[in-house]
Amino acid sequence: RKLVLIGFMGAGKSTAARSAAEALGTRAFDVDRVVEERLGKPVADVFAQDGEAAFRSAEEQTTLELLDDSAVQVLALGGGATASQLVRQALGRHVVVWLDIGLDTAWDRVAGSGRPLARDRDSFQRLYEQRQTSYEALADVTVSGERLESMPEVLDAIQGLPQGARMLWAATASSDYPAYVGPGLITQQRFWPATVDGRRFVVTDGRVAGLYGEAIQPQDGRVVIMPGEQSKTVAHADIVWTELARAGMTRQDVVVALGGGVVGDLAGFCAATYQRGVRYVQVPTTLVAQVDSAYGGKTGVDLAQAKNYVGAYHQPAAVLSDPGVLQTLPEAERASGYAEVLKTALIAGGPLWEQIAAGADPLSVEVIVACARTKLRVVERDERDAGLRQVLNLGHTVGHAIETVTGYARYRHGEAVGLGLLVALRLSELEDLRQQVADLLAAHGLPTRLEGADPDAVVMATARDKKRVGEGPVPFVLLEAPGRPRVGCEVPPRALIEAVREVAAS
C-alpha cells in the first residue's frame, strides 16, 4: 500500500510527501509536477490555454498510472483529483492521508499565487466546502496542515493500523498524539499503538471491567471504581493514586483509562498528578467519551460546589475509540452521548450539522470521526481555553449548573447538556433552531424539560462557571447559526432567569 497525500490547495501536500518520503528512505512523487512535465507547461497555462476539463483528464490519467506504479511509494495528489470516481476507487487500496487545513489558512497561503482556482474568495470557499466532504470520506489518516513536518511521527503511529480503522493526528501546543477510531479496534483486533511502550495499569469502573476488562493485554495492574459521576471526586483520585502505588506503577509505565467520561477525567487527572505526571491512554467506551471527553486533555474531578472544579490539562499519549463497544451501552447512555454529538454539530455547522439534522446515526464511525475532528481542530488552536476553546462549552454553563444543583445524581451529563442547549438557543434568539433541537433531543429519548431542580438555584449555580473572571458576568457561548458560535457573550440576569424558567415550564 502506498502513502497518498490528499487535501485542499495550500494544505502542504508536497511538503508532507517529502517529509514522509524522507522517513521511508524513498522519493516523493507529485501528480501536478508529473502532469506539467508530460504536458510541457505549468498547470496555470494548461487551464488558460486548454481549459479545466483538459487538465482534469490529464490529471486523472496520471494519478491512476502513478497509483499503479510499483516504483511509487509516496504520492501527493492534486486538490481536485478526488472528484474522479476512478481515482476514489483506486485510493481504496492505499493509505490515504488527508492534510486538513482551515479555510482562512488555505486562502492566506494561496491567494495571489496565480492559481486558477484561487482568484475569487467566494468560489474558493464553495470549492473548499464541497471538497472537504470528499476528503473526509476518503481519509484513513487525518493530519493538520500545521504539522507537515510531523510525518515521521505520524508514520510511526500508524504502524499496524488495522484496515478500516482511522487515525486523527491530534496536534496541541503541549504535545501531539494519535487518536484512532475503528470498529473492533480493541474488542477484536486488540490494537495497541507501537509508539506507547511501558507496563499498562488499567483504571476502569465496575461495569466496564466486567465487559471489556480483558481487552487490554498485557495488563500489569487494575483499579476499579464504582460506575457513575459520584466517583469523580478527590476521594476517588486518592484511591486510584494509592492503588497505583501499591501495584508498583513507575514513571515508565502508562495508565489506561478504560471507560466513559468519568473514568477518563478521573484517570487522566490521576495520571497528570501521579509522580508529577505519567502518560495515559484513553480507551473511551461511551458515546460521550468517543465523541468528546477522551480528546483534548482536560482532566479533573468535581466538588460538591461545582463541576470539574479541580483538575489539570494533560494530553493523552493516544486515544483508542472502538465504536463496537457502544453496542452494549444502555439506551439512556447512548442518548446522553447524543447530546454531545448535537452540541458538536451545532458548533461545526456544515456537513456534520446537516447530517445530524437529517437524523444520521450518532453511533456511526463517520459521525464519531467528524465529532472528534471538530473537537481536535478547536483544541489545536486553543489548548488552554484562552478563547476559542470555549465554544465547546455550548450548553454547558447551564448544563453543569443543573448537574451541580441536583447533586450529580438526577441527570446524566448529556441530559443536562441537552437542557443547557435549549437555554443557550433561547438566549441566542434562534427560536426555529431551538424547536428543531428540542425535537431531535426528544426523538433520541432526551429530556426537554427541567424537573426536580429550582430554576433560580440553577441560575445561582451558573455564577461558579470556571470561565467567569472575578465578580464579572458569566460569559456565555451563544450561536448566530449552526457553525457560527460566539464566546464571551454577556447575558442580562433577567434573560437568563426567564430562559431557565422557560425550560422548567415547557
Does residue 96 touch ligand NAD according to CB under 6 A?
A: no
| Among 60, 100, 176, 205, contact with ligand NAD (rule: CB under 6 A) | 205
Q: What's the half-sphere exposure (Cβ side, CA atoms, 13 Å) at 148?
A: 15
- Cα 270 from chain centre: 23
Which helix (H) or strand (E) covers residue 3, if one does? strand 3-7
Give whole-number Cα distances, 272 to 52, 198, 245, 265, in Å.
Answer: 54, 17, 14, 10
Spell 355-376 as b/e; 16+ CB within 10 A means b.
bbbeebebbebbbbbbbbbbbb
Residue 82 or 285 having the CB closest to ligand NAD: 285
Nearest approach in angstroms of CB 29 to ligand NAD is 40
Please give the size of the binding site for ligand NAD, defined by CB under 6 A. 31
Among 79, 178, 182, 260, binds ligand NAD (CB under 6 A): 260
Q: How far is the CB of 334 from ligand NAD (least distance, A)?
A: 10
User: Contact letters (x/-) for ligand NAD, 293-332, by CB under 6 A?
Assistant: x--x-x---------x----------------x--xx---
Cα gap 180→191, rounded to integer Å: 10
Q: Which stretch binds ligand NAD (CB under 6 A): 176-184, 272-280, 281-289, 479-487?
A: 281-289
> Given candidates 5, 170, 263, 421, which one binds ligand NAD under the rule CB under 6 A?
263
Q: Which is nearer to ligand NAD, 21 or 342 (CB)?
A: 342
Minimum CB–partner distance for residue 313 and ligand NAD (Å) = 10
Within 69-164, residue ranges assigned H as helices are: 85-91, 103-110, 121-138, 151-157
In this structure, are residues 69 and 90 in contact, taking their beta carbons and an 8 Å threshold? no
Residues 317, 300: Cα–Cα separation, whole Å: 17
Cα 489 to Cα 428: distance, rounded to the nearest angstrom: 10
* 56-85 residues near ligand NAD, rule: CB under 6 A: none
Rounded to the nearest whole angstrom, what is the least distance from the CB of residue 413 to ligand NAD in the complex?
A: 4
Amino acid residing at 135: Y
- Applying CB under 6 A, the span of 28-36, 214-222, 227-235, 439-447 interacting with ligand NAD comes to 227-235
Q: Are 198 and 262 in contact (CB under 8 A)?
A: no
Q: How many CB atoms lie within 10 A of CB 312?
A: 15
Closer to ligand NAD by Cβ: residue 183 or 259: 259
User: Is residue 342 near ligand NAD by the rule CB under 6 A?
Assistant: no
Q: How far is the CB of 465 from ligand NAD (least distance, A)?
A: 13
Closer residue to ligand NAD (CB): 124 or 411: 411
Query: What residues numbered 413-432 form the site for ligand NAD, per CB under 6 A?
Result: 413-414
Stretch that binds ligand NAD, among 111-119, 184-192, 221-229, 447-455 (CB under 6 A): 221-229
Residue nearest to ligand NAD (CB): 261
Strands 279-284 and 318-321: parallel
Q: How far apart are CA 493 and CA 471, in angstroms?
A: 14
Taking CB under 6 A as the rule, does residue 131 contact ligand NAD?
Answer: no
DSSP string, 12-79: -HHHHHHHHHHHHTS-EEEHHHHHHHHHTS-HHHHHHHH-HHHHHHHHHHHHHHHHH-TT-SEEEPPT
Contact 165, 182 (CB under 8 A): yes
- The answer to whether 404 contacts ligand NAD (rule: CB under 6 A) is no
Judged by beta carbon, residue 13 or residue 298, the one nearer ligand NAD is 298
Q: Is 259 in the site for ligand NAD (CB under 6 A)?
A: yes
Binding-residue pattern over the window 230 to 249 for ligand NAD, x denoting contact by CB under 6 A: --x-----------------
Query: Would you put residue 385 in left (φ > 0), alpha (ψ -120 to 50) or beta?
Result: left
Using the rule CB under 6 A, is 289 a contact of ligand NAD? yes
Q: Report the interface residues with ligand NAD, using CB under 6 A.
A: 205, 207-208, 211, 227-229, 232, 259-263, 265, 285-286, 288-289, 292-293, 296, 298, 308, 325, 328-329, 333, 336, 412-414
